Structure 1
Amino acid sequence: MASKPDKPGGDGAEGRLGLDAARLPWLADTLTRTLASQRSHALLVSGPSGVGQMAFALALAKSWLCETPLADRPQRLACGHCGSCHLVDERSHPDLRLIVPEALRGEVGLDADEPGEGDGEGKSKKAKPSQEIKVDQIRTAIGFSELTAGRASTKVMLLHPAEALNTISANALLKTLEEPPGALRFVLSTSSPQSLLPTIRSRCQAIVLPRPEAAPAIAWLAGQGVDRPEVLLAASGEQPLVALAMHQAGLDAAAWLALPERVAAGDVAAFGGWALPQLIETLQKLCHDRLLVSVGAAPRYFAGARLVPGDVARLTAWAADLRRQSRHADHPYNAGLALEALLAQARDMGAAPRSDAASARPLRAGGPIHSRP
């Protein structure tokens, strides 16, 4: 049986994979241009999920804090070998404050067992990690911003994902964002800039990351050892970092293409280790592609798999029900029963022809799968 998969979420795969934006071909040019043209103390980095917002934001912070003279750094990129660069990689630089929701601490390289900034000592250990950036974290960070820099000429506050700011914490950030003390720089990364307060957006220089083109993304994935990378790139919704995380978690192209048949067969054992949000999102992709096939269009996520056309009205109703269930996927009364019910519902949408691939080993869940059809 598959081991329990990582919980989907944000660009957390970047923290676990330790990726350098300067080595991601679809981000390298944008990173160089941003370092050369920066005109604001606050940057808002936005782009599609899974393309590297977090890696890009860290690359900016690393370059700003790098101790190697600019004359010795082509294109202002971090040198990668000085003491400051090492401390950033270890998430222990005294002049860098990385502000993330408690639930993402482990995913971005912070100690998940330590309390986040502003967490009370009396907090129950059984409490579910927060998905928000709380006001106490912002207040603690503001206190950090007012201190003298420890070893650099500037200090950096990095918030990820910025849409995790709730209304109170966003308002608490505004004054410091508008009038930062000393040589303080901000970088906020997000896949949903429209969800931020207009007053936050107006105080930042916008940096928009490009969606990777297929050819360089496939070539990069192949260089990371991914077999049939075009399949996993499509499965991830053209998000190469997510595709790489899927590969490293054990989900290969053959298993992904066999998935529609295993769903149609109601093969509950194949999904025994899957987190409920991940299963729902995968079923959303399957429903999306079956709708496309039913109206004569090509599938997006399961290109190359055998998909059975269905009744458009029923599939549309199924899609709406999956959206409803996704809102509560993190808080099921009984995850096992919910998984069985979801697969029974999917099986009722229509069975596919069986193949040898569908009777292969149980599927392993592929890490964070967080695109939305």
Structure 2
Amino acid sequence: MAEVNAGPPWIAAQAERLLAQRGHAWLLQGPSGLGQYGLAIRLARAWLCDEPTPQGACGHCASCHAFDVRAHTDLCVLMPETLMLELEWPLGEKAQKEIDGKDRKPSKEIRVDAMRDAVEFAQRTSGRGRGKVVLVYPAERMNHVTANTLLKTLEEPAGDLRFVLASEAAHQLLPTIRSRCLAHTMVWPGEEDSLSWLQRQDVDPAVAKKLLRAAGGRPEDALAYARAGLDPAAWARLPKAVARGDVSVVSGWAPAQALDALQKLCHDLLATACGAAPRFFETADLPAPGPAGAMAAWSRELMRTARTVEHPFNAGLMLESLVSGARSALNSRH
């Protein structure tokens, strides 16, 4: 699998360090785009491997094959169902039947039913005799009920059971979850390493540099932008376009994508107002910031919107509302 065997070099280096340490539960934390999922996969695969090396799994044993085909009996993967389907992990029989029967849509959270299945999995004997692994990603997608269901097993795992929780918003996790894990903060690769890796993923060098800036230096986010077809020129036009109230600049975007871009714009404008350098946009592409009070209020409104952006009643109206809010903040006189 490419996600395991050909990941970024900084992920391989982190995996080797973590595999040399002891501990039954790791929390991999950091912002998006730094490779939490890839690192979690490497750890889980190596822990279950029949012939592991200091660098990780061997890649050729029966355990590695079972892992590659998503059929390892000693691995339990907990993700939102939408992400499970995207990454081609099999759903539980009941969940698959409900979704296939149109009884409900795939969940965007980690469901408590799946967590209960994981607790039951934890009580079973290892099928291959090398222990068991529970992988949770993104861990912040557990609600309080789901997280509390995990707590007891996380604190007192049965037998040779290991956990790897990967999060892009660890501050949202329950303190009791965080306290039961060994924390690992993801390494932030340098620009040269990131650009070299992006070019190996067939991203044009000129485009890679601009998308890496748009992603705030996070290489996997930049790669996702490239694969989604984000036009660097359109990104550069966005700040001044929304200042004019031009909704067409985000035409066809999902509300979550537009919100992310506006939060980055708001960040850069607040930074420049304080004399700092912008992070996501070039200085020349930014409009003048609005008054401090209006900008702070806009930032708070964007954070409130983030709580419900994945469930818009009408995507088009939400895009209009987001651009209207940006225009009002940037052109406010108070």
**TM-score, with structure 1 as normaliser:** 0.77
Aligned partner (choices 135, 138, 156) of residue 115 of structure 2: 138
Answering whether residue 23 of structure 2 is matched by residue 46 of structure 1, we say no
Post-superposition Cα deviations, 1:291-326, rounded to whole Å, max 9, x if no partner, equal 333444321101265212133233333323322333
Post-superposition Cα deviations, 1:219-243, rounded to whole Å, max 9, x if no partner, equal 2222222233232122112221111
How far apart in 1 are the matches of 2:320 and 2:103? 26
> RMSD of aligned C-alpha atoms?
2.8
Task: Give ranges in structure 2 of 5+ residues lacking alignment.
Answer: none
Match of 1:155 in 2: 132
1:327–1:184 Cα change, 3 Å: closer
How far apart in 1 are the matches of 2:296 and 2:151? 42
Say whether the 8 Å CA contact 2:295–2:330 is kept in structure 1.
no
Report matched runs for 1:273-292 at 5 Å.
Answer: 273-292=252-271
Instruction: State the secondary structure of the residue aligned to 1:158.
Output: strand
1:135–1:322 Cα change, 3 Å: closer
1:60–1:19 Cα change, 3 Å: same
Post-superposition Cα deviations, 1:260-303, rounded to whole Å, max 9, x if no partner, equal 24434544344221111211221121222233334443211012
Match of 1:254 in 2: 233
1:76–1:339 Cα change, 3 Å: closer
Letter in 2 for 1:33: R
Aligned partner (choices 11, 14, 17) of residue 30 of structure 1: 14
Letter in 2 for 1:300: R
1:318–1:121 Cα change, 3 Å: same
**TM-score, with structure 2 as normaliser:** 0.85
Answering whether residue 304 of structure 2 is matched by residue 327 of structure 1, we say no
1:348–1:132 Cα change, 3 Å: closer
Instruction: State the secondary structure of the residue aligned to 2:3.
Output: coil
How far apart in 2 are the matches of 1:56 and 1:128? 29
Letter in 1 for 2:161: L
Match of 2:276 in 1: 297
Letter in 1 for 2:30: G
1:89–1:262 Cα change, 3 Å: farther
Task: Give ranges in structure 1 of 5+ residues lacking alignment.
Answer: 1-16, 352-373
Letter in 2 for 1:144: F
How far apart in 2 are the matches of 1:206 and 1:105? 24
Match of 1:164 in 2: 141
How far apart in 1 are the matches of 2:210 and 2:127? 47
Q: Which has the higher contact order (CA 8 A, sep 6+)?
A: 1
Say whether the 8 Å CA contact 2:131–2:161 is kept in structure 1.
yes
How far apart in 1 are the matches of 2:213 and 2:3? 21
1:209–1:341 Cα change, 3 Å: closer
Report matched runs for 1:1-373 at 5 Å.
Answer: 18-20=2-4, 23-37=7-21, 39-67=22-50, 69-70=51-52, 73=53, 75-111=54-90, 114=91, 116=92, 119=95, 125=102, 127-227=104-204, 228=206, 229-303=208-282, 305-313=284-292, 314-348=294-328
How far apart in 2 are the matches of 1:231 and 1:304? 13
1:202–1:316 Cα change, 3 Å: closer
Identity %: 47
Q: Which moved more, 1:286-295 or 1:54-63?
A: 286-295
Letter in 1 for 2:27: L
- How many residue pairs get aligned? The number is 327
1:298–1:239 Cα change, 3 Å: same
How far apart in 2 are the matches of 1:46 and 1:298? 26
How far apart in 1 are the matches of 2:290 and 2:176? 46
Say whether the 8 Å CA contact 1:43–1:204 is kept in structure 2.
yes
Going by fraction, where is helix more abundant, 1 or 2?
2
Post-superposition Cα deviations, 1:41-94, rounded to whole Å, max 9, x if no partner, equal 222222222201111111001111223x34xx3x24112233322332332212
Q: Which moved more, 1:340-349 or 1:271-280?
A: 340-349
How far apart in 2 are the matches of 1:344 and 1:163? 30
Say whether the 8 Å CA contact 1:170–1:197 is kept in structure 2.
yes
Letter in 2 for 1:31: A
Instruction: State the secondary structure of the residue aligned to 2:253.
Output: coil
